[in-house]
Amino acid sequence: MIDFEGQVVVVTGAGRGLGRLYAIELANRGASVVVNDLGGSMHGEGADSAIADLVVDEITTAGGTAVASYESVDSPAGGEAIVATAVRRFGRLDAVISNAGIFNSIAFEEMSDDDWRRMLAVHLDGAFYLSRPAYRVMKNQGYGRFVFISSSGGMFGQPREAHYGAAKAGLVGLSNIIAIEGAPHGIGSNTVLPFGFSRMVTDTVDDPKAIEEAGFLRAIRPELVVPMVVYLASRDCALTHQNYSACAGRFARVFVGLGQGWLAGSDRDPTADDIATHLAQVSATEPFTVPASIFEEVFEVCDRIGIR
């Protein structure tokens, strides 16, 4: 059994929805949990400390250990304070589940600068402001786990969500670099693309009653996402630099592959016309590789053209 005895985990956005379920399951498995939630609305308005307090009460009533944190992740001071709460109360920090976020739907041409910046400030900037101080603590310990909650809306696209999709895709890039730099220090980093019933789902469908009657909401129960997140946050997990989808009880790796492509000869510079001529090779997805870094891509091409 995977357990978290003696480990400390920060879960942001842990007052409701998926974040609450992550926090409860981690506590059930022995973790001391920092339940972070500003307590605002799904659209990022207002604040209510009772939201985090209720989850802490739920955990402690069941015999677990938890402390509330009410800071917003959207500032360096907020991220530092969340990490400081973990270290001050429990003496260490073993895992961070970066789950805090807001959500709204806006057509691309109608999106304002403020709409764009606010979404990135919470999802992407917030993940950075939290993970930077957490990384420093983990590096000193020689151990740590990051789980960034990304989205298929960013990896594959979702209409009316340019700001949300860009922020969530940005988390994949952030996780990739933390995984590379953290590897020598025992720090792993992965992302999860969850699909579970939440306020976000009902906000993006025209007829919530119809999908409920079709059994869709039961199929995407949020509890079905939790196992993937908890595993990636655990000591048992040796995986890093990966992305996983969790949807309706199906768990699968999500990856960006690089096709072999078409290689121009060295006798002349390729042109746009050459691209058109060889477009089938350029666009082919087989065979493919999954480079572990930018260097692997470049070195593979250099090898093919005879540069060592």
Bridge partners of 187? 144
Beta strands at 242-247 and 250-254: parallel, antiparallel or unpaired: antiparallel
Any long-range contacts for 165-170 (C-beta under 8 Å, 24+ apart)? 166/119, 166/120, 167/101, 167/119, 167/120, 167/122, 167/123, 167/124, 168/123, 170/120, 170/123, 170/124
**Distance (Å, whole) CA 170 – CA 150:** 8
Helices 126-141 and 162-182 cross at an angle (nearest 10°) of: 10
Which amino acid, residue 272? A
Q: Do 253 and 201 meet the contact criterion of CB atoms below 8 Å apart? A: no
Considering the candidates 129, 143, 164, 244, report the single residue annotated as catalytic: 164
Q: Are 146 and 188 in contact (CB under 8 A)?
A: yes
Helix-helix angle 113-120:162-182, to 10 degrees: 30
251, 228 contact by CB (below 8 A)? yes
Distance of CA 61 to the CA centre of its chain: 29
Query: Does the annotation mark 164 as catalytic?
Result: yes
Phi/psi class of residue 186: alpha, beta or left (left: φ > 0; alpha: ψ in -120 to 50)?
A: left
**How far is Cα 130 from Cα 298, in angstroms, rounded to an integer?**
32
For the annotated catalytic residues, the residue numbers are 164
